[in-house]
Amino acid sequence: MTADTVALTAPVTRRRPTWPPLTAKLAAGLILGGAVVLFGLLGPLLVQDPSRVGDIGLAGPSGDHLLGTTQTGQDVLAQLAYATRGSLIVGAIVGVLTLLLSAFFGIVGAYAGGWLDELFSLFTNIVLVIPGLPVVIVISAYVPDKSLLLVSLVLAITGWAGSARVLRGSTLSLRGRDYVLACRVAGEKRWRILAVEILPNLIPLLASQVVFAVIFAILGEAGLSYLGLGASGSFTWGTMLYYAQNGLALRLGAWWWFVPPGLLLALFGAALSLINFSIDEIINPKLRSQTRASRRGWRMSSEQLRKAKESTL
Amino acid sequence: MSHVFARRAVAAVAVMALALAGCSGSGDGKPGANAANSSITVFNGANGTILENWNPFSPTQLQPTNGMIYEALFWYNLASDAAPQPMLGSTYAWNADGTELTVTTRDGVTWADGQPFSAKDVAFTFDLIRRTKAINATGLKLRSSVAKDDKTAVLTFDAKSFTDEASIVGHTPIIPEHVWSKVPDPAKTINQNPVGTGPYKLKTFSAQSFVLEKNSAYWQPGKPQIQNVRYISLATADAASAALTAGQVDWMSSFLPGLDQLLKNHKELSYVNTPVLTASVFTCSNVALGCAGPQTDPAVRQAIHHAINRDQLNKLAGGGFAATASPTLLLPERDQKWITDPAHVTIPGAPDVAKAGQILDAAGWVKGADGIRGKGGQRLSMTIQTVTGWSDFISLNDAMAQQLKEAGIELKPAQVSWNEWNNNQVQGKFQLSLDSIGLGANNNPYHTYQAKYATVTTAKVGETASTSGNYARYSNPLVDSALQAAAGTNDEAAQKAQYAIIQKEIVRDLPYIPIYVNSLLTEFNTSRATGWPTNENKYALPASWKIWDNGIVMANLRPAK
Amino acid sequence: MRYLIRKFGFYLVALWAALTVNFCIPRLMPGDPVEIMMSKLGQKGPVTPETRQSIEALLGADSSRPLPRQYGDYLAGLATGDLGVSVTFFPASVIDIIGRTLPWTIGLIGLATVISFLAGVGLGTLAGWRRGSWLDNLIPVTTMFQSVPYFWLALILLFLLGSVWPLFPLNGGYDVYTVTPGWNGEFLGSVLYYGALPALTIIVSSAGGWMLGMRNMMVSTLSEDYMLTAEAKGLRPGRIMRRYAARNAVLPSISGFAISLGFVVAGSIVTEAVFSYPGIGSALLQAVGGNDYALMQGIFLIITLAVLGANLLVDLLYSVIDPRIRARS
């Protein structure tokens, strides 16, 4: 529909991917995100069985249970560790699938051009206008045994189209650049032009699309689980919140059950957003030039101001 | 979560501990000063949009249709073992064959539109059912239905129909001939202007809420006293608990975790617990019909029965509200007169792991290196299924898996969608499954036993068993013949002798392993109305979603002063 | 004109694809409405084998027709507005249920989305115009609200503002206790009051995204040469900001807005579940809970149609506000 406007506004020059400068935003994002990932990887090895019930239900945080217990005396910290792993798995699967699908339909189509581009673009646009969550709900209502993998698959299938459209826009604009035309004239093979000349320039854009896909997948899974339509028998932040909500955790004052999964999800999402800010600045250098910190450097100090005032008076 | 909640509201369960304060005391029967504009609000489990349907024969009717607006001939109180109470009928009698039922109707009843009620309406109702297959939900084998005079209706049947008694007199709404004789398709009408004999009639309707108002010509003198009853719809247990504590709901039946804590600071709120549904482990028990797995060995089922710690299960999963179950699958309190062996009235709450071990040892299940038993290369390991989101059942599974490990039994909990869970049970494609034993048409054990243990209600694995039927694939000629004998008589003593045979068989074979009788919690607000059922006075099943009983409860309420 | 014909062609293909997907999904999945209704009844009370016959008679089941015939019947039914009969609300028709619920969703979620878009784009324009200002530095914070699970935030706000400090109503679309639905001030006021908190939660959690997108576009646009020209001509800053920068920068946001209309209904499912709001999202949940495939199909279809319609509208609007597209056609 309007893919070309994206291209118009995201000028890409020929350059190899550069690592973003380590700004405070990026550092904070990496540290937060890394901590959550580490918790998801190592946490489950260190905690007790998250399903193990106990006789002390709805107990607040204590030495035995650092984050208290659920209604049935299960350890919230243990559940949180497993849930983190589950949600990260969903994010990872959807991230990879979105990368593959959107790259295939977005980049390959736009690069090949002609009827293939028309076809891919039509397909992408159709998937885009078919609303995601209702489809997910309808599909999950029909499919009986929902594994984490299935939920991720469904989320990926309904979620890749937006990225594909953005990538198509950029590829179209790159394809028309002089240096690409030059390569063609020089007789470079088409796949080589795509792989060596075009793809590297799309990496930052791909990265930012994947990061978005991961955030939306984790949020989407949480939403599905909250509606009771998530993966069966697995722990994710969403299922934890679902059980906490079902157990009226908030109304019974059991914040230690309701708050941590949501907070962790929010933190992880925020970390990814911070990373994305930095990637955005590579894609669009105009965003990079003037941060507030750098502007402050240009500003006249109060002493200079005073002097300037005096001199003009 | 919507289906959990619906299940909670529809099929909730179990025991209670707290005596009700404030409910029984006050009222002297006189309408208070505010009686003219008294109004209460009911949440009956409806969520989302409400669509108008007052057809008393429709499976999707609005819940107050039967009980509040339409009434049956008699009413069965499933909360107690009382005899059926006369409503529109005053007496009924069978002929010796059980093929002809004579009903005498009540005098002085009028329809809400002022027309007099007579036995002709009764005869018309059953004749309409005879003529219209789509509304004959219980499959009555009616041959004819005529009114001998204004007070006597005679129904004749093609086959012996003693066992349909409760369906006929207790669960068939009586409709006015002068209205329904003009309805072209009684199965599909939504009956927008319902005319009944019940204590209430329709006042206003919208898709979010509807109001019933007092039928001032109701045949019970001085009843009802509450002017308006409003029904609302709420989406979640969280919304229901918020509305209850904010004083926006006067009557609802939802399982609310931590109920005592929620109601602590609300003197006007109280609750009653009337457990009637037995949570049980359903086992696919019959090798001959195609079941496979260790649970086909009765010794394994017995061992599970003895090894589970029901006290702990009640505490963790039942919220402490569940009541003790009986291995006969009847309700220990209500059905005591039907339980023939005093030893089978209740199950002890504490586990007997030693006994479970002995039973398994005797059956040749030997403990392996990992602590799990085995026999002839088969591990004593079974999958138990329940529905995603049914949090109490999921907790039950988790806790039972832990408890049974001590007896050398491995339980693998699995959560599946409601569809698959139901389909597995209907088709017999499960090893163990967690479910509840539902309510019968009346308190006669025949309804439960016929549905759950008869060979005719089951099918081979892979074929469809009848709905809510014998999912355990249990088949026992002794039980079948006893059921047949019990169906052939309406003499309770003779029936009891047959039930004794059945109970001996099923307690030994345990195709359904009862866990506990699940709580059925009903919450009240006493600041606007009093006279609710209490633990001491269960004059009706208080659940706000129950048909028939809701009319009885509403007719008994008085405005609070 | 070519532009418009292409667009309409695309929408026709998309519509056909949506209809066909909608036709195929239930037929690929197991599930017999009679069986489902039987089991649901079995939960409420006793059912006998004879109940099956009565339900079959009631639903008038027929699955013997060949698939192409069924497809034809389905399309013919759609053309006449017949989406079938709901199982959960039998004998109400699917179209009737949609008619009752859709206005609530469009009113609440649609309005909240528009407000959120306008607020986000407005603030984004200012933030991009005044880079480095406090508003600009607020952007990471507002973006983080997007990463908070919507229902989690909504439940906490509902608990705090509904129960702890009862400023807002707890549930529902209007005050069912004292107000009669109709075109009167009292009812409309009540609807606004009951919709305030749900709308607020939607705006809080979604405005940040619009703001960020608009701000970045503003920054990019401001460095274009024509901006320099405009400044050199001595135009008033307000005019440059609105007529030159914002008008160009807003284009991608508008196309994003069209896509986000798809999320109007998607988002409504969770919102309506949290606030017990009587819209189409809760009807979809009821359909899922009751295995009501006809209703699911119908709602899904209406959602798709609404999204396609909104996209078409924005595309047409685009050709008006973006001269480049007009020039090309």
B436 contacts B421 by C-beta, under 8 angstroms: no
CA distances from B16 to B82, B267, B314, C115, C169 (A): 21, 18, 11, 50, 32
B499 contacts B338 by C-beta, under 8 angstroms: yes
C198 and C131 part of one domain: yes
**Which of A137-146, B63-72, C28-37, C131-140: highest mean pLDDT?**
B63-72
Q: Is the pLDDT of residue C209 over 90?
A: no
Rounded Cα distance, C243 and C101, in Å: 40
pLDDT computed for residue C220 by the predictor: 78
In a domain, C249, yes or no: yes
Which among A295, A313, A311, A293 is positioned nearest to A303, based on CA atoms? A311
Q: Which two tokens stand for residue C255?
A: 């196309």
Worst-scoring range by mean pLDDT, B360-364, C225-229, C288-292?
C288-292
CA distances from C8 to A110, A168, B15, C5, C27 (A): 22, 21, 63, 5, 29
pLDDT computed for residue B281 by the predictor: 95
Contact A242 B241 (CB under 8 A): no
Q: Which H/E stretch holds residue B283?
A: strand B277-283
**DSSP letter at B515?**
E
A55, closest residue in chain B (CA to CA): B316
**Chain C residues within an 8 Å CB radius of A266:** 144, 147-149, 152
- Whose tokens are 């699917």? That residue is C94
In a domain, C28, yes or no: no
Chain C nearest C-alpha distance from B36 (Å):
17
Q: Is C162 on the interface with B (CB under 8 A)?
A: yes
C284 and C138 part of one domain: yes
CA distances from B193 to A59, B108, B113, B117 (A): 53, 23, 10, 18
Rounded Cα distance, A134 and A144, in Å: 17
Q: What angle (nearest 5°) sits at the alpha carbon of residue B11, between those of residues B425 and B496? A: 80
* Burial (Cβ within 10 Å: 0-12, 13-18, ≥19) of residue B96: exposed
Q: How many residues does chain B have?
A: 561
Task: Select the residue from A248, A250, A252, A255 to test the B interface by mutation, using most B Cβ atoms within 10 A.
Answer: A248
C133 and C279 part of one domain: yes
Helix (H, G, I), strand (E, B) or coil at A264: helix
In this prediction the ipTM stands at 0.80
Worst-scoring range by mean pLDDT, A144-148, A194-198, B493-497, C76-80?
A144-148
**Arithmetic mean of pLDDT, C252-263:** 73
Rounded Cα distance, A281 and A285, in Å: 5
% pLDDT > 90, chain B: 52
**DSSP letter at B329?**
S
Q: How confident is the model at residue C32 (pLDDT cuts 50, 70, 90)?
A: low
Q: How confident is the model at residue B282 (pLDDT cuts 50, 70, 90)?
A: very high
**Chain A residues within an 8 Å CB radius of B388:** 146, 228, 230, 232-233
pLDDT computed for residue B528 by the predictor: 92
**Chain A residues within an 8 Å CB radius of C149:** 219, 222-223, 226, 237-238, 241, 262, 265-266
Give C297-313 pLDDT, tens digit per residue. Answer: 788 788 778 777 877 87
Q: Is C107 on the interface with B (CB under 8 A)?
A: no
Q: How confident is the model at residue C213 (pLDDT cuts 50, 70, 90)?
A: confident
Residue B530 forms beta bridges with which residues? B558
What radius of gyration, in Å, describes the C-alpha atoms of chain C? 24
**Chain B residues within an 8 Å CB radius of A252:** 257-258, 261-262
* Residue ranges of domains in chain B, CATH in brackets: 17-68+198-272+521-559 (3.40.190.10), 74-180 (3.90.76.10), 277-518 (3.10.105.10)
* Burial (Cβ within 10 Å: 0-12, 13-18, ≥19) of residue C69: exposed
Q: Is C135 on the interface with A (CB under 8 A)?
A: no
B270 contacts B521 by C-beta, under 8 angstroms: no
Q: Is A58 on the interface with B (CB under 8 A)?
A: yes
Give A109-128 pLDDT, tens digit per residue. Answer: 888 878 888 888 888 877 87
Chain C nearest C-alpha distance from B289 (Å):
20
**Arithmetic mean of pLDDT, C246-256:** 78
Q: Pick the last residue of a domain from C51, C82, C113.
A: C82
**Arithmetic mean of pLDDT, B322-349:** 90
Give C96-119 pLDDT, tens digit per residue. Answer: 888 888 888 888 888 888 899 999
In a domain, C4, yes or no: no
In a domain, C89, yes or no: no
| Strand duo B410-416 + B381-387: pairing | parallel
**Arithmetic mean of pLDDT, B248-275:** 88
Q: How confident is the model at residue A307 (pLDDT cuts 50, 70, 90)?
A: low
C69 and C211 part of one domain: no
CA distances from A187 to A15, A175, A193, C145 (A): 21, 15, 10, 50
C60 and C175 part of one domain: no
Q: Is the pLDDT of residue A10 over 70?
A: no
- Whose tokens are 């905690």? That residue is A47
Which among B178, B61, B154, B203 is positioned nearest to B548, based on CA atoms? B61
Give C272-285 pLDDT, tens digit per residue. Answer: 888 888 888 888 88
A174 contacts A201 by C-beta, under 8 angstroms: yes
Identify which of C47, C88, C170 has the shortest CB distance to residue B243: C170
Give B401-413 pLDDT, tens digit per residue. Answer: 989 998 999 998 8
B8, closest residue in chain A (CA to CA): A246
Worst-scoring range by mean pLDDT, A65-79, A272-286, C144-158?
A272-286
Residue B282 forms beta bridges with which residues? B433, B512
Q: Is the pLDDT of residue B119 over 90?
A: yes
In a domain, C252, yes or no: yes
**Chain A residues within an 8 Å CB radius of C291:** 141
C62 and C200 part of one domain: no
In a domain, C178, yes or no: yes
Partners of chain A (3+ Cβ pairs below 8 A): B, C
Contacts of C8 (CB under 8 A, 6+ apart): none
CATH of the domain at C249: 1.10.3720.10
B429 contacts B41 by C-beta, under 8 angstroms: no
C308 and C228 part of one domain: yes
Identify which of C30, C40, C48 has the shortest CB distance to residue B138: C48
In a domain, C288, yes or no: yes
**DSSP letter at A106?**
I
C61 and C127 part of one domain: no
**Chain B residues within an 8 Å CB radius of A247:** 257-258, 391
C227 and C126 part of one domain: yes
Which among B552, B445, B447, B437 is positioned nearest to B167, based on CA atoms? B447
Task: Select the residue from C38, C43, C190, C268 to test the B interface by mutation, using most B Cβ atoms within 10 A.
Answer: C43
Q: What are the b/e assignments for B503-522, b being 16+ CB within 10 Å? A: bbbbbebbbbbbbbbbbbbb
Over chain C, what is the mean pLDDT? Answer: 78
Q: How confident is the model at residue C31 (pLDDT cuts 50, 70, 90)?
A: low
Q: Scan residues 50-69 of C and list those with Cβ closer than 8 Å to B.
A: 50-55, 57-58
**Chain C residues within an 8 Å CB radius of B40:** none
Q: What is the 3-state secondary structure (H, E, C) of chain C?
A: CHHHHHHHHHHHHHHHHHHHHHHHHHHHCCCCHHHHHHHHHHHHCCCCHHHHHHHHHHHCCCCCCCHHHHHHHHHHHHHCCCCCECCCCCCCEHHHHHHHHHHHHHHHHHHHHHHHHHHHHHHHHHHHHCCCCHHHHCHHHHHHHHHCCHHHHHHHHHHHHHHHCCCCCCCCCCCCCCCCCCCCHHHHHHHHHHHHHHHHHHHHHHHHHHHHHHHHHHHHHHCCHHHHHHHHCCCCHHHHHHHHHHHHHHHHHHHHHHHHHHHHHHHHHHHHHHHCCCCHHHHHHHHHHCCCHHHHHHHHHHHHHHHHHHHHHHHHHHHHHCHHHHHHC
Q: Is C250 on the interface with A (CB under 8 A)?
A: no
A280 contacts A287 by C-beta, under 8 angstroms: yes
pLDDT computed for residue B373 by the predictor: 93
Q: What are the b/e assignments for B272-303, b being 16+ CB within 10 Å? A: bbbbbbbbbbbbbbbeebbbebbbbbbbbbbb
pLDDT computed for residue B473 by the predictor: 94
Contact B238 A248 (CB under 8 A): yes
Range(s) of the domain holding residue C267: 98-328
- Whose tokens are 């249709």? That residue is B65
C318 and C268 part of one domain: yes
Worst-scoring range by mean pLDDT, A194-208, B5-19, B257-271, B416-430?
B5-19
C16, closest residue in chain A (CA to CA): A126
**Chain B residues within an 8 Å CB radius of A78:** none
**Chain A residues within an 8 Å CB radius of C29:** 142-143
Q: Is C173 on the interface with B (CB under 8 A)?
A: yes
| Strand duo B521-525 + B373-375: pairing | unpaired
Residue C191 identity (one-letter amino acid): V
**Arithmetic mean of pLDDT, A193-214:** 84
pLDDT computed for residue A11 by the predictor: 45
Q: Is C26 on the interface with A (CB under 8 A)?
A: yes
pLDDT computed for residue A6 by the predictor: 41
B311, closest residue in chain A (CA to CA): A55
Q: How confident is the model at residue B286 (pLDDT cuts 50, 70, 90)?
A: very high
Q: Which two tokens stand for residue B537?
A: 């006075």
**Considering Cα of C208, then C213, then C219, then C222, what sign does the dihedral take?**
negative
**Arithmetic mean of pLDDT, B207-231:** 91
Chain B nearest C-alpha distance from A224 (Å):
10
Over chain B, what is the mean pLDDT? Answer: 86
Q: How confident is the model at residue B299 (pLDDT cuts 50, 70, 90)?
A: very high
* Burial (Cβ within 10 Å: 0-12, 13-18, ≥19) of residue B392: buried
**Chain C residues within an 8 Å CB radius of A273:** 140, 143-144, 146-147
**Arithmetic mean of pLDDT, B333-358:** 90
pLDDT computed for residue A197 by the predictor: 81
Q: Is the pLDDT of residue C137 over 80?
A: no
Q: Is the pLDDT of residue A15 over 70?
A: no
Q: Is A291 on the interface with B (CB under 8 A)?
A: no
Worst-scoring range by mean pLDDT, A16-25, A157-166, A280-289?
A16-25
**DSSP letter at B467?**
T
- Whose tokens are 């009382």? That residue is B82
**Which of B77-91, B263-277, B290-304: highest mean pLDDT?**
B290-304
pLDDT computed for residue B90 by the predictor: 94
Chain B nearest C-alpha distance from A92 (Å):
24
Question: Long-range contacts: A12-19, Cβ < 8 Å, 24+?
Answer: A12/A170, A12/A173, A12/A174, A12/A201, A12/A202, A12/A283, A14/A177, A14/A179, A14/A197, A14/A201, A15/A201, A16/A200, A17/A200, A17/A201, A17/A203, A17/A204, A17/A282, A18/A282
Q: Scan residues 205-224 of C and list those with Cβ closer than 8 Å to A.
A: 216-217, 219-221, 223
For chains B and C, CB pairs below 8 A equal: 176
Q: Is the pLDDT of residue A83 over 90?
A: yes
Identify which of C10, C132, C252 has the shortest CB distance to residue A5: C252
Which among B333, A137, B350, B151 is positioned nearest to C265, based on CA atoms? A137
% pLDDT > 90, chain A: 14
* Helix extents (H) in A160-254: 161-175, 178-185, 190-192, 199-226, 237-246
Chain B nearest C-alpha distance from A251 (Å):
8
User: From start to end of B371-505, where are the E strands?
Assistant: 373-375, 378-379, 381-387, 410-416, 432-437
Q: Pick the last residue of a domain from C82, C117, C139.
A: C82
pLDDT computed for residue B2 by the predictor: 37
Q: Is the pLDDT of residue A217 over 60?
A: yes
Identify which of B246, B464, B468 has the shortest CB distance to residue C42: B468
Q: Is C41 on the interface with B (CB under 8 A)?
A: yes
Over chain A, what is the mean pLDDT? Answer: 78
Chain C nearest C-alpha distance from B390 (Å):
13
C192 and C251 part of one domain: yes
Contacts of B69 (CB under 8 A, 6+ apart): B54, B56, B112, B194, B196, B198, B200, B201, B202, B212
Give B454-472 pLDDT, tens digit per residue. Answer: 998 888 998 888 777 899 9
Q: Is the pLDDT of residue B202 over 60?
A: yes
Q: Which two tokens stand for residue C84?
A: 């079938």
In a domain, C306, yes or no: yes
Q: How confident is the model at residue C33 (pLDDT cuts 50, 70, 90)?
A: low
* Residue ranges of domains in chain A, CATH in brackets: 22-38+67-283 (1.10.3720.10)
Q: Pick the last residue of a domain from C15, C47, C82.
A: C82
Q: Which two tokens stand for residue B51?
A: 């669509």
Give B20-59 pLDDT, tens digit per residue. Answer: 233 333 333 333 345 578 899 999 888 778 888 899 988 7
Q: Which H/E stretch holds residue B517?
A: strand B512-519
**Arithmetic mean of pLDDT, A280-309:** 58
Contact A286 C223 (CB under 8 A): yes
C233 and C283 part of one domain: yes
Q: How confident is the model at residue A177 (pLDDT cuts 50, 70, 90)?
A: confident
Q: Model pTM?
A: 0.82
Contact B204 C180 (CB under 8 A): yes
Residue B11 identity (one-letter amino acid): A
**Chain B residues within an 8 Å CB radius of A79:** none
Which among C289, B73, B139 is positioned nearest to A229, based on CA atoms? C289
**Arithmetic mean of pLDDT, B419-440:** 85
Number of structural domains chain C divides into: 2
Rounded Cα distance, B152 and B100, in Å: 13
